[in-house]
Amino acid sequence: MIIALVSFIVGALQILLFFKLWGACNDVQSILAKFNNPISIQELVLKHSIGAPDFNEKLSNAIYVDLRRYGSINYDIGYKKWVRYCGHYGWQMPDVFVKANTYEKYKEIFG
């Protein structure tokens, strides 16, 4: 009797765990989407205007992801775009990206 009860509980927990893992696997897509499209310019402007404490982190992440997408051929275009954005909105370009003004330096820093 006790073995049957324990077996039933373990079986129910395994089924529950299966669905929890399934749900976690579906969340991977939303995590990847957030990483690949970190934040829009409008959201950055809003975060800067309200003085959000994570603004610099969000700005760095947005620049990193965007420049990674440009690759070696169009890196200059992407870099100039971010320099223009930072100048227009009065943001300070993160130091690491000031140093990474060419694709070769970007690869040196970020690998």
Which DSSP symbol is given to 72?
T
pLDDT tens sequence across 67-78: 888 887 888 888
- 21 and 57 share one domain: no
- 46 and 86 share one domain: yes
pLDDT tens sequence across 58-67: 888 888 888 8
For residue 14, what are the domain limits?
Answer: 1-35
Contacts of 97 (CB under 8 A, 6+ apart): 60, 63, 64, 67, 79, 82
- 64 and 110 share one domain: yes
- 62 and 101 share one domain: yes
- 66 and 18 share one domain: no
pLDDT of residue 16: 93
Contacts of 60 (CB under 8 A, 6+ apart): 94, 96, 97
Answer yes or no: are the C-beta atoms of 109 and 99 closer than 8 Å.
yes
- 94 and 104 share one domain: yes
- 51 and 68 share one domain: yes
Tally of structural domains, the chain: 2
In angstroms, the CA 33 to CA 27 distance is 10
pTM: 0.61
